Structure 1
Amino acid sequence: MSVRYESAIDLEKVSAIDMHVHLEVDECGHKAMPEDLFEASAAYFKSAERTPSVDRIAQVYREAGMAAVLFTVDARTALGHEPNSIDDLVAGATRNNDVLIPFGSVDPRTGEAAIIEARRQANELGVLGFKFHPSLQGFDPSNEEFYPLWTALQELGLPCIFHTGQNGMGAGLPGGRGIKLRYSNPLLLDDVAADFPNLTIIMAHPSVPWQDEANSIATHKANVFIDLSGWSPKYFPASLVKMGNNVLSKKLLFGTDYPLITPEKWLGAFAELPLKDEVRGGILKDNAVRVLGLGK
């Protein structure tokens, strides 16, 4: 019987909510991606601890006094590799529901099955959102083939994180292992945001080399946000930092990409950015509380 997640996060006690944390190995030791992609991404990010367990991730964030959104990516069609168990992920997040928030994932290329599974994950497992990686999953989110899925997710009322910009997955491999960067152009999500105005879209990462496009979309569309994961803040594009102090102050979300980047490393660099104190607090926690619908 499946476990259903209920949050027990004390928002008064956590200093930040990390919107972007990967669970790369499930309870049975199955990895989320083929081994060559793991090795390439570890080399690209120079990460020390590549596959921490759910309980290890919870320990890291509990000791840091923070909460974290936890997910995996279902890319079974594109990679020919079975995904990690969402049920196990939710069970682990439930076991650590004082600090962890589970997101679901489905493979859009599985059609109606993806819609059925998304509804199951939301209604039976209690996930609080969904994660997609268009380049890794090999699909164009603006293609109307996938609009039935976005319709279903809009009806569920849960936010969706989409990878955008440069891709560490497959970096340095021949042909990038067939992974196509154009699927992660944020302009593809502008179509989705326009056609599904009640679907909350989070564009993951500073969207290099398309940062100006991402800034424009997040400014223009009330339902679009940007998480700041995947890059050390010291490398953030200047336009993102500048707009973060004004028109994007309510649209930016703290995220690390842990275990690829640790919270300590990210926060150390973030402290050096020329941001207003009130903006800094919104990015670290308050904006995420609103997007996730916590504290209602």
Structure 2
Amino acid sequence: MDLSSDAFAELVAIDVHAHVEVSKDGHGSLSPALAGASEKYFGSHERPGIDQMAAYYRERKMAAVVFTVDAEHATGHPRISNEEIAEGCAAHADVLIPFASVDPHKGRAGAREARRLVAEHGVRGFKFHPSVQGFAPNDPMAYPLYETIEELGAIALFHTGQTGIGAGVPGGGGIRLKYSDPMLVDDVAVDFPHLKIILAHPSFPWQDEALAVATHKPSVHIDLSGWSPKYFPPQLVRYANTLLKEKVLFGSDYPMITPDRWLADFSKLDIKPEVRPRILKENAARLLGLGSDEGKDPA
């Protein structure tokens, strides 16, 4: 991301969780069956391209982390190109921050791809969706990929909790919820103590587990995407206000949930005034190395 100090100061928020659902040629990130079930679960929504996403966030004076999910092994559905997303972000470097997704089943080949994406395309982190990708986060299969991400100083963002993808499809479309238990990521935080980790979403039905991991492991953060804040469980709000006030991050899950809706509901949440800007911008800026806090992430 390319920002002057003045431009960074003007940002009102950093959304750390936004999905690219369609490529330039119209290829979807999910198979038609899973995409249809997801829209039924979340409600029908637009599927903006990167240029549209950039315009949306620029109009609101926000920045956004954007990514897709590579689940080719488990679903057989070709991914959207990481390079396409990174190049699109580079064209809108004032508002978009590129993350990538590499299927852990690709082993050392995936680790080499991750290294290239960071070195040649400026990728800042990697999205994992264990349930959709069909792997346990603590499976040693994924460790060469984590090792590379840790070495490069990039971020690993894990979907946690229930997913709307596959909901209502017989057998959940083959998607196993157990893989998104945040306690499985606790093993990753132990084995890779300097790997910067984000647990995505209020982690129903494992909210307490997510709070425990983030409190215990210095490198672990929580994003608040995928739920309207009015539905946040009380213990999540309590920890966000206290023990985790420097480790909780604004995320929307755009386009499934828009930042407009999320922020409107967040404004009504009982969050301390001094904590609110940390959640909306400052914590993410520190973790991503943006603005005046560059290089000061305590993890």
Same fold at TM > 0.5:
yes
Find the partner of 1:167 among 160, 163, 170. 163
Q: 1: CA distance between counterparts of 2:120 and 2:30? A: 26
The residue number in structure 1 matching 2:3 is: 8
1:15-164 equivalent positions in 2, closer than 5 A: 15-49=12-46, 51-164=47-160
User: What's the secondary structure of 1:114's corresponding residue?
Assistant: helix
8 Å Cα contact 1:47/1:261 also seen in 2: no
1:222-261 equivalent positions in 2, closer than 5 A: 222-261=218-257
Identity of aligned residues (%): 55
2:187 is the counterpart of 1:188: no
Name the amino acid aligned to 2:19. H
Deviation digits for residues 20-59 of structure 1 (CA, Å, limit 9, x no counterpart): 000011111111110111111111111421x111011111
Deviation digits for residues 186-229 of structure 1 (CA, Å, limit 9, x no counterpart): 00000000111100010000000000000011000000000000
Name the amino acid aligned to 1:41. S
CA separation of 1:258 and 1:37: change in aligned 2, threshold 3 A: same
Q: 1: CA distance between counterparts of 2:226 and 2:8? A: 25
Q: 1: CA distance between counterparts of 2:150 and 2:11? A: 29
Give the C-alpha shift of residue 145 in structure 1. 2.3
8 Å Cα contact 1:26/1:84 also seen in 2: yes
The residue number in structure 1 matching 2:297 is: none
Give the C-alpha shift of residue 248 in structure 1. 0.9
Q: 2: CA distance between counterparts of 1:236 and 1:293? A: 28
Q: 1: CA distance between counterparts of 2:76 and 2:224? A: 29
Give the C-alpha shift of residue 107 in structure 1. 0.6
Q: 2: CA distance between counterparts of 1:106 and 1:247? A: 32
Q: 1: CA distance between counterparts of 2:257 and 2:144? A: 34
- What is the TM-score with the length of structure 1 in the denominator? 0.96
Deviation digits for residues 145-200 of structure 1 (CA, Å, limit 9, x no counterpart): 22122111110111111000010110111111000000000000000001111000
Name the amino acid aligned to 2:37. A
User: What's the secondary structure of 2:205's corresponding residue?
Assistant: coil
Structure 1 residue ranges (4+ consecutive) displaced by more than 4 angstroms after TM superposition = none
Deviation digits for residues 98-128 of structure 1 (CA, Å, limit 9, x no counterpart): 1100101101001111111111111111101
8 Å Cα contact 2:104/2:141 also seen in 1: no
User: What's the secondary structure of 2:138's corresponding residue?
Assistant: coil
Name the amino acid aligned to 1:289. A
Structure 1 window deviating more from structure 2 (84-93 vs 176-185): it is 84-93
User: What's the secondary structure of 1:277's corresponding residue?
Assistant: coil
2:257 is the counterpart of 1:275: no
- What is the TM-score with the length of structure 2 in the denominator? 0.95
Q: 2: CA distance between counterparts of 1:136 and 1:278? A: 37
Deviation digits for residues 249-295 of structure 1 (CA, Å, limit 9, x no counterpart): 11100000000001110001101110101111100000000111112
Name the amino acid aligned to 1:11. F
Find the partner of 2:198 among 177, 199, 202. 202
User: What's the secondary structure of 2:34's corresponding residue?
Assistant: helix
Name the amino acid aligned to 1:94. A
Equivalent pairs counted in the alignment come to: 290
Q: 1: CA distance between counterparts of 2:58 and 2:145? A: 34
Q: 1: CA distance between counterparts of 2:221 and 2:44? A: 27
Give the C-alpha shift of residue 243 in structure 1. 1.0
8 Å Cα contact 1:7/1:101 also seen in 2: no
8 Å Cα contact 1:205/1:229 also seen in 2: yes
CA RMSD of aligned residues (A): 0.9
Name the amino acid aligned to 2:67. F
Q: 1: CA distance between counterparts of 2:36 and 2:79? A: 17
Give unpaired runs (5+ residues) of structure 2.
295-299
